[in-house]
Structure formats: structure tokens, C-alpha cells
Structure 1
Amino acid sequence: MEVLHYNLDMTPESEWKIVSAGAFARDKLLYLQEAGHFISGANYYTVRKELDSYLVKLTLSGAGILEYGGETYRLPAGSFFWIDCRAPQHYYTAPDAGQWDVLWFHFYGATADAYYQAFLSQTQGRAAASLPVDSPVSAQMSALLALAGEDGGGLGRDLDASALMTTILCGLIYGAAQQRPQPVPAVLQKVRQYLHEQYAQKITLDTLSARYNISKYHLQRSFQRYFGQSPGEYLTRLRLTRAKELLRATDLPVSEVAYRVGMENTSYFISVFRVREGATPQQYRRRWSPVA
């Protein structure tokens, strides 16, 4: 059951559009639930939990505060938050600012959580980030608000909104990625290069730790921080990419393909391949074999 307490301290120029997406959009797409442009005063706040929705709020001017996931975030101009509204949240105008001008939209749908997890992978789990000064996201969110206000709606509006939200969410993820610490430390560059060159060999976290004189814990944490995935996940993706190339370009037995990409246990290789690709290696080969 949704829990909601709020005070909408807004100027008359503020906008709020509620959208009723069709059944196809709700079942298959990212779909828009509502959007708005709030020019809020000092007394604006929302306290909520258990809402099946994701929320993006972008600060245009002034500042806000978000309390979420045990953290408190200040949101000056150019920053945004992206949260899962099923979790408890509290956001409000920053007391020292007295005003918070934001564009925002609520959305849900089949791929909503996948985009959210991609965002969190770039922020190390933080709910807030900032956009580059040349980001088009603000203009795109304004366009989404205009789209939400169109009369009639229907499948066309749902498709347009889904496409525009996809563009916006990717822009937010890219913006968050640009805030990752740079440059990548030399030792991590060497680890990544080693994985590319030696993926067919037996490689473990212990192997990498000993080779580059770095603790397993620090390696795991740092690699995830800079590359958005663990060394093990990175290695598995390299191996599967090479395996797909061999399956398409050669007639090698599956056991030989597994061996050549460093996964000597054929049953394990088939299991991992099926989970990642939704098909066995043989099924993948048949689907992608050259047409005579």
C-alpha cells in the first residue's frame, strides 16, 4: 500500500501532467505515468514509499535535498536523482535555497529496472549525479512534458514517450558515467589488457592479485568502480564474445570452442552460454549460420 505525505508549495506557472498508458505499453514498454515542471517554494516536500514507479528529478535552479537509502543528497542546478519509489524516500526544497525548480517524470515498465541498475552501476549505488553542461537531457525532459500534455494519447503517444524516455535515461547513465574517477589507474589498465590477451588461460582473482601485487578486495572493488563490472564478469563477457565468433565462423565442436575461450568444462560453458544468450551454443550457431 502506497504511503504518501506531501506539500505542493508551487507557483501558478508549475505544470503537472498525468498520463494513462495503454495496455500494450504497460505490458511491453517503458511507459510514462506522469511528468511535471515544479517551481517550488521553501515549504515543498514529499514523503513516500511502496509506489510501483521510478522517478527522475532534474534541478534547473535553486536546490533540493533527497533522503534515500540511508544517504542524504544535495541537489543543486544541473544535478538529478533517480530513485525506485518502492523504497522510502523524502525530498524537499533545500532550506538554505528557499526555492527548487525541477523537471521530473515518473515511469515504469518492462525494462525500467534494467535501466535503473545500469545507472546504479555507474554511480556505485548512489541515487544522485550531475549532468555535463552540454547535456540535452533538460530539453528532452521538456519535450517529454509537452508530449504528456497532448490530448488523445493512444499507442502513438505511448511509443513516442517510450522512445524519448529511453533517450533520456541513456543520457542520465552517460552523464553519471562521466563522473567516474579519471584517469583509470595504470594497474587496472594492465589488468584489463591482460584479460583481453590471455582470456583463454585459466585466470582467477588470485591469479590477478598475485600478478599485479594488489589485494583481491581492492582489485575487485576498483575494477567495478572504473569499469562498471567485476573482473570475473568482464572475463566472462570476453570469452562469450570470442565463443560466438568461433561458433559463427568455424565448424569446431562446441567442446573445442569452450576450450579455446578458456572454459574447459563444456557443460559449464553450455550452461553459462544458455543463461546469457537464451540459447545453447548449437542453437546459436544454427540461428547465425551463413545463408547459402
Structure 2
Amino acid sequence: MRKYPLQVEWDLAPESENIEVTPSLLAQSMFFYVQAVGRFKALEHYYTNREQYHSFLLLWTKRGQGRLKYGGKSYSLLPNDVFLIDCKEPHYYETASGVWDMDWLHFNGGSSQSYAELILRNAGPVHALAADTIIPSRLELLLQAQRTKPIHSDILSSKWIVEMLSELLIQSVYKEPDSKDMTCPPYILEIMNEMERNCSAKITLDDLAEQHSFSKYHLAREFKRYTGYSPTEYVTHVRLSLAKEMLKFSDLTIAQIAEQVGYQQASFFIKTFKQREGVTPLEFRKRWRA
């Protein structure tokens, strides 16, 4: 992980727990992985002020209240609230009053960047959880796994992280109270399949709208409603997923991969890849092959 500017006041009760994790190379190359996990009883002077940390943070408020500053806004953190943030961005969180009980997880890997971007875009960083949420139980499992390190802990941890992110994603995308049927229409599935088959081609919203006899505004709205992505975002997701497979399993140059997945300029491909994955394509390939 990178060095990062950090200011912190560790005003914590003695029973607080912080487990730092060194993920295996296999976990870093294949899975969502734990970087650190813990359970804090934060006292009144506790705060963390940080940026440029290559990690994602999911924090659940068990009891008490906290405060988060992120993206130029301030958020109150009440019992059963959870926040998800990209720690590369400046962020600050603190005890709001009294004692703030929290379970938290720093994680990375897999498609963490895509999940975080989509959830943040749809609903922001803070989410009030439903009564039947799985998130507290999965944080408990992750904490137990890092205490005892059972066999297959990397695989299990990845599974639990995906389950939590999936719950937040579903809540952020399908939050309309009157939504009864969110089955994806056949024409949306057809468009998704077309994008996956021809991701290297230039596919415009105008072309898709004309092909399926919709206005482009209706098509863009409905596509995002059912997939969580705009059409442009989905093409980018498909292209980068294919690029990662080529980086892992082929000897093609970065320029050749860029061309095959639909980027005319390798420099733009490298910039887009690093924005989404946190590393350049070449760094991604080196990590995988290590």
C-alpha cells in the first residue's frame, strides 16, 4: 500500500481491536481481500483524517454517533448506519458525542473500484441499513477469520465482502419503494450482450436507440435503472474486464491490448485503467505474474 498523509487521535477504549492483514499474492491477484479489520469503541476525542490511501473503507455504527466528512459534505452517522468510501479521496471521521461503537473493514481487490463508484454515484457514502441486513454478521465473520486464520480464509473473506457490497448496491440501485418487478427487460439484456460481443467497436447511444426504437434519453434512463450503469459506463466495465484477462493470460503489449478492447489511444486506456483499478495495466500484469 502507498504511503499516505494521516492525522489520527487514537482515543479508544482498551477493548478496541485492530487487525492489520498482509494479503497473499494469490488473494491480491484474484479476490476481494482484507487489508485491515477491527472493532472500535471510540471515545470523545477520536478522529481520523486521511487521503491518498489505496483502500476502501466500510464502517458500521453499532452504537453512539459519529461524523463523516467526504466529498465536500458532512454526514451524521447514527446507529445501524454504514458508510462506504474510497480512501484515495480526502476523508475525515470522528466521534460525534460520547462513545462511538463501530465495526469496520479496509478492503481492496476484485472489482472494488467499480462497486464503490457505482454505489457512491447512486446513493452517496452513507446508508441506513434495513433490520434484516447481513452486514453486521459478515463483519463479525471477517473479524473472526482474521483472528483464527482458518483454511480458505482468503476465499471466504472475498465471498463475505462481495455479499456486503452486493447488498449496498441493490439498496442503492433499487431504492424505489414502489418497485415491484425489477426483472431486466429482454431489450436491455440484448444491448448488454451486444456490448460484450462488440466491446472493441464504437457503439453510440444514438445507434442503440435507433436500433431498438427508443429515444436515447429513455434508453439511457432504463439501462441505468436495470443495470446500475449508464451505457457508457457499462462499455468501460466490459472493456476493462476483458483487458484484465488479456493482461493475465496473454503476452500482448499494452498498446495491442488497448486496441483490441476498443481504445484508439494507449495513453487513454492506461489513464482509464488506473482510475478504475488503482494501478497501471503494466503494474497489474506484474502483480499477477509475481
For 1:31, give the aligned amino acid.
Y
For 2:155, give the aligned amino acid.
L
Match of 1:68 among 64, 67, 70: 70
> 1:90 & 1:111 partners in 2: Cα distance?
24
- Residue ranges of structure 1 left out of the alignment (5+ in a row): 211-215, 235-269, 273-292
> 1:51 & 1:232 partners in 2: Cα distance?
28
Instruction: State how 1:149-188 maps to structure 2 within 5 Å.
Output: 149-150=147-148, 153=149, 156-177=152-173, 180-183=175-178
What is the total number of aligned residue pairs between the two structures?
A: 222
Q: Which residue number corresponds to residue 129 of structure 1?
A: 127
Answer whether contact 2:118 2:229 (CA < 8 A) is retained: no
Question: Considering only CA atoms, is the larger Rg found in Structure 1 or Structure 2?
Answer: 1
| CA 1:154–1:20: 2 relative to 1, 3 Å | farther
> 2:142 & 2:23 partners in 1: Cα distance?
14
Q: Which residue number corresponds to residue 145 of structure 1?
A: 143
**How far is the alpha carbon of 1:222 from its aligned partner?**
8.4
Partner of 2:98: helix, strand, or coil?
A: coil
**How far is the alpha carbon of 1:111 from its aligned partner?**
2.3
**How far is the alpha carbon of 1:118 from its aligned partner?**
3.7
Match of 2:209 among 204, 207, 210: 204
For 2:177, give the aligned amino acid.
Q
- Residue ranges of structure 2 left out of the alignment (5+ in a row): 192-205, 235-259, 263-290
For 1:204, give the aligned amino acid.
A
Answer whether contact 1:21 1:154 (CA < 8 A) is retained: no
| CA 1:147–1:71: 2 relative to 1, 3 Å | same
Q: Which residue number corresponds to residue 86 of structure 1?
A: 88
Pairwise CA RMSD: 3.8
For 2:170, give the aligned amino acid.
Y
Answer whether contact 1:48 1:90 (CA < 8 A) is retained: yes
Give TM-score scaled by structure 2 length: 0.63
| CA 1:68–1:225: 2 relative to 1, 3 Å | farther
> 1:165 & 1:140 partners in 2: Cα distance?
8
- Per-residue deviation, residues 123-150 of structure 1 (Å, max 9, x unmatched): 2xx1111211111210111111111112
Partner of 1:183: helix, strand, or coil?
A: coil
Give TM-score scaled by structure 1 length: 0.63
> 1:46 & 1:202 partners in 2: Cα distance?
48
**How far is the alpha carbon of 1:100 from its aligned partner?**
1.3
